[in-house]
Amino acid sequence: MSHVHESLPSAGGKAQSFTLDPVRDTSHPQLAHNVALVLGGGGAAGNAWEIGIIAGLADAGFDMTEAADLVVGTSAGATTAAQVRSGIPAAELLASVLSVPAGPVGQNRERPPSLPMATVFERMRAIGAAATSAVDLQRAMGAFGLECNAILGPGAARRRAVVAARLPSPDWPDRPMIVVAVDAQTGELAAFDRDSGVDLVDAVTASTALPGLVPTPCINGTHYIDGGVRSSDNADLASGYANVVVLSPLGGRSQTPSERGAVSAGQFEGLRRFPGTDLASQVEALRTRGSRVEVITPDADSQAAMGANLMDLANRIPAARAGFAQGTREATRVTFH
């Protein structure tokens, strides 16, 4: 039986070893917890779509802000996780997204100097094509992030302030929440929680640090990059929960062009995923362990609203509205046991 060895942070930012077992011999293990909510990455539009979905579910009588015993957030989903765990009702979170005016398409004067976005994603695809394993890919992406710090590093404090402004509170919630990042030097998983000795703002800044676009932050002497480099969703971190609800803004966008049968057009299409890091593999492993898993990805209306540029702030309001409409429909199939 294969095992994946990674690291979880402990108090003081140090790492402790643990083992993820992707396949278990029995499909009926003893599950110790009830409900986990997994929030995947997907840029500014993905965050807004997730808030819309959660508000739509709540409007239909299924409030994940209360039901979730664990929330796992990756990249933009880390911001969503902090919002969901803030104690603010889902309807108010949605109203906040809808009340913020978006700037003109493609304009973001607050962004510090960076490589052209198309160049960044082409570099990511090249790194993926050359990688021999998931950890090799993650290390190479970390090296890319560190390389780009020569240009982006001076904007680190400003970047942290931008992230802090998005969070309802700078403090970790009392209820369990995991924020996922990747160690830029080793390529290993960093799963931050309230006991990690890392501020929530720093954890979310690390989880959203996409190499080439924003600075690669340093926390307690270690640099981190976006948790989506390991997996868009990191749904495997919900292992042990009887019910898992995954909101995945990227859905099938991260498949390679050959898997989709067409040349990919958006930012995240064509980014390579090794077995065990893609959502399908992680969901299969969770179900093998006995979890009931429901995966919600953007429907056609939501995909159209989110657009091809998921980083564009102008797509947030349409994405949130489409997510709300989709969430009210999805509530009929989200059930727990």
What's the pLDDT tens digit per position in 113-169? 667 888 888 888 899 888 889 999 999 999 999 999 999 999 999 999 999 999 999
Angstrom distance (rounded) from CA 146 to CA 132: 20
Mean pLDDT of 293-319: 95
pLDDT of residue 31: 57
Mean pLDDT of 91-119: 72
Of how many residues is the chain composed? 337
pTM: 0.85
Q: Please determine, for residue 291, whether its predicted confidence score (pLDDT) is greater than 60.
A: yes
Mean pLDDT of 188-199: 97
Q: How far is CA 192 from CA 10, 45, 211, in A?
A: 8, 24, 19
Mean pLDDT of 82-107: 83
With cut-offs at 50, 70 and 90, classify the pLDDT of residue 23. Answer: very low
Question: Which region among 33-42, 237-246, 274-283 has the lowest average model confidence (pLDDT)?
Answer: 274-283
Q: Please determine, for residue 197, whether its predicted confidence score (pLDDT) is greater than 90.
A: yes
More reliable by pLDDT, 252 or 70: 70
Q: How far is CA 154 from CA 48, 212, 227, 257, in A?
A: 28, 14, 22, 36
Q: Please determine, for residue 204, whether its predicted confidence score (pLDDT) is greater than 80.
A: yes
* Angle of CA points 202, 203, 206, to nearest 5°: 85
Of 253, 261, 262, 233, nearest to 303 (Cα)?
253
Mean pLDDT of 41-54: 97
Q: Please determine, for residue 308, whether its predicted confidence score (pLDDT) is greater than 50.
A: yes
Per DSSP, which regions of the chain are E strands? Answer: 4-9, 15-20, 33-39, 70-74, 177-183, 189-192, 218-219, 222-226, 241-247, 292-296
Helix (H, G, I), strand (E, B) or coil at 247: strand
Question: Which region among 48-52, 209-213, 231-235, 268-272 has the lowest average model confidence (pLDDT)?
Answer: 268-272
With cut-offs at 50, 70 and 90, classify the pLDDT of residue 252. Answer: low
Structure tokens at 56: 């739509």
Q: What is the mean pLDDT of the chain?
A: 84
Q: Please determine, for residue 10, whether its predicted confidence score (pLDDT) is greater than 60.
A: no
With cut-offs at 50, 70 and 90, classify the pLDDT of residue 101. Answer: low
Q: Please determine, for residue 258, whether its predicted confidence score (pLDDT) is greater than 70.
A: no
CA dihedral 148, 127, 271, 131 (to 10 degrees): -140
Looking at the chain, the number of H-run helices and the number of E-run strands are 12, 10
pLDDT of residue 25: 33
% of the chain surpassing 70 pLDDT: 80
CA atoms lying within 13 Å on the CB side of residue 317: 11
With cut-offs at 50, 70 and 90, classify the pLDDT of residue 333. Answer: confident
pLDDT of residue 20: 37
Q: Please determine, for residue 13, whether its predicted confidence score (pLDDT) is greater than 50.
A: no
pLDDT of residue 264: 37
